[in-house]
A and B are shown apart, each in its own frame.
Chain A
Amino acid sequence: MFDYNFHWRPVMKSLPDLLEAGLLTLQVATLSMIVGIIIGLALALIRLHLRGPLHWFASAWIELARNTPALFQLFFFGFGLGAFGLHLSPFTIVLAGLSFNCAGYLAENFRGGFQSVPDTQLRAARSLGMSAWQAYTRIIIPQVFRIVYHPLTNQLVWAVLMSSLGMLVGFRELSGETQFFASRTFRIFEYFAVTAIIYYVIVKVILGASRLLAWRLFRY
């Protein structure tokens, strides 16, 4: 029934390049997670504890990140900032877009995490003479971390999947690289099939590693 001949050889030939691009995918996803965690933590704390302009700013960030398409956010950092003469490299566009998105989603996770650690924990820590900083870093945040651990893992998976949008802004991560080869050889299906498998493996490795790490980290 098919009169299509599958040609896998070109794909296999460029497999090393694809895998290398896969590393770039992992790299940009991880970096945006790190930035996202730091900013998300700040946004969550601002939204929980401050009033006024900073609160509005944090709320606006969170709601924009969660209520517009990730691709829109990428376009914004791509063309949108171009309106102000700011032209970012494809890598920076993807990193900025993903970080913006992750920060928004993670902020809500963190907020939920902070809210589920009872206030009395902070009081107990302070009553022992810990400074606010010590109480947060030693007592509150480790507990929040456990609560948001699984959401964090999921977000990392999302970041990997979302980074594929890089292909639409000219970034040659795994998808961009695949498209580059596919359009040169016209073996679109074969290339993207292999890439799909690579993504699948990356996602499974992340989930597996996360489970292993959780088992090591959370003894209680």
Chain B
Amino acid sequence: MQQSISFFSGFGINDLWFLGEAALRTLWISAVSISAGTVLGILFGWILYEAKFLGAVTLAPVLDIFRSVPLIIQLVLFYNFAPIIGLDFGPFGSGIVVLTIYTASLVANVARGGIEAVGKPMRRAARSLGLSYWQDMRHVVLPIGGRAVFPSWVGVALGVMKDSALVSVLGYVELLKASQILITRTQEPFLILAIAGAFYFALSYPISRYAAQLEKRWAQ
């Protein structure tokens, strides 16, 4: 029993609130960046698809940079670069900007894959029925291509949600940063980490399972 006493001694109900608030911040920064990054990423994906050669020599290498440099370095760089050009976003704003672009760089490939998945014959059939380019995009490419890559998009989104923990490096108190602060104060590392881990897991596991099931069902 000694163990369980030392487990809870330094950790009170207020601390749980503190963690809860931080978890909300994790959710918030993830939701904003994933939404904005997805919109931007779809746009990029569409450009990559339509502007084949031009896209491959201009946009693609730029997006590739965001996938080839650690996110944490991107965060530190942007956070320290913005003031140089007279902008000050603060930790939250910088986090949003970097996570959004990072998400977009990943979603771009997913989106392009989605458009490619629709296939030329189907598109031609749609156009032959008199659908305009945008009608074809809206009523054929979006539902069919979107379905094909939805599971990959879920993977990207969950990845960004987990990676949002890195914004802590800028001092933004999201869930992991809050855990770290509490650990220093209460000396209850195991309990606090277990709570934080359980939160991420409870969010990520069901969603990834659901996406995997959808993928299986749609593959049939």
- The answer on direct contact between A and B (beta carbons under 8 Å) is yes
Does the CB pair A69–B163 fall under 8 Å? Answer: yes
* CB–CB B77/A196 < 8 A: yes
User: Contacts A69-B162, A76-B193 known; A175 to B188 CB distance under 8 Å?
Assistant: no
Interface pair B72/A164, CB less than 8 Å apart: yes
Question: Closest CB of chain B to A21's CB: distance in Å?
Answer: 13
Chain B residues whose C-beta falls within 8 Å of the C-beta of A188 in the assembled complex = 76, 80
- Say which size band chain A's interface belongs to: 35 or more
- B86 to A64, Cβ gap below 8 A? no
The answer to whether B201 and A67 have CB atoms under 8 Å apart is yes
* Closest chain A CB from B210 CB (angstroms): 13
Residue picked from A2, A83, A196, most chain B C-beta under 10 Å? A83
Asked if A33 lies at the interface with its beta carbon under 8 angstroms from chain B, I say no
Contact A80 B77 (CB under 8 A): no
In the bound complex, do residue B200 and residue A72 qualify as a contact, i.e. CB atoms below 8 Å apart?
Answer: yes
Q: Mark B185-199, 1 if CB is under 8 A from A, else 0.
A: 000111101001100
Q: Contacting chain A: which of B42-50, B62-70, B104-112? A: B62-70
Instruction: Tell yes or no: B16 within 8 A of A by CB.
Output: no
Given contacts A1-B85, A69-B165, contact A83 B71 (CB under 8 A): no
CA distance A131 to B183 in the complex (A): 53
Q: In the bound complex, what is the Cα–Cα distance between A196 and B196 (angstroms)?
A: 30
Q: Chain A 53-69, CB within 8 Å of chain B: the 1/0 string?
A: 00000000001101111
6 closest A-B pairs by CB: A83-B190, A164-B70, A79-B189, A67-B204, A69-B162, A203-B68
Q: Kindly list 12 other residue pairs between chains A and B, CB separation below 8 angstroms, not including A2-B86, A203-B69.
A: A64-B201, A68-B197, A68-B201, A71-B176, A72-B165, A75-B193, A79-B183, A80-B193, A83-B189, A164-B72, A189-B80, A199-B70
Chain B positions within 8 Å of A, measured between CB atoms, are 65, 68-74, 76-77, 80-81, 83-86, 158, 162-163, 165-166, 168-169, 176, 179-180, 183, 188-191, 193, 196-197, 200-201, 204-205, 208
**Which residues does A use to contact B, with CB under 8 Å?**
1-2, 4, 63-64, 66-72, 75-76, 79-80, 82-84, 157, 161-162, 164-165, 167-168, 175, 178, 188-189, 192-193, 195-196, 199-200, 203-204
